[in-house]
A = this chain, B = another copy of it.
Amino acid sequence: MPRPHKWQHRLQGHGSRWTVPRGAILNHLSRTSKHMSAKEVYTALHKIYPALGLITVYRTLDLLVRMGLLYKFSFGTGESRYEFKSDTEDSHHHHLICTKCGKILDYTDYVDEELELIKKTEEALATKHSFCITDHNIEFYGLCDKCKS
A→B interface (CB under 8 Å): 72-76, 80, 96, 98-99, 105, 107, 109-110, 113-114, 117, 120-122, 124-126, 128-145, 148
Contacts and interface: CB of A to CB of B under 8 A. Distances in A.
Copies held by the complex = 2
A133 B129 contact: no
Given A75-B74, A76-B72, A109-B128, A133 B140 contact: yes
A113 B117 contact: yes
Given A76-B80, A107-B128, 15 more contacts: A109-B121, A109-B128, A110-B117, A110-B121, A113-B117, A129-B145, A130-B144, A131-B140, A131-B148, A132-B148, A135-B141, A135-B142, A136-B138, A136-B141, A137-B140
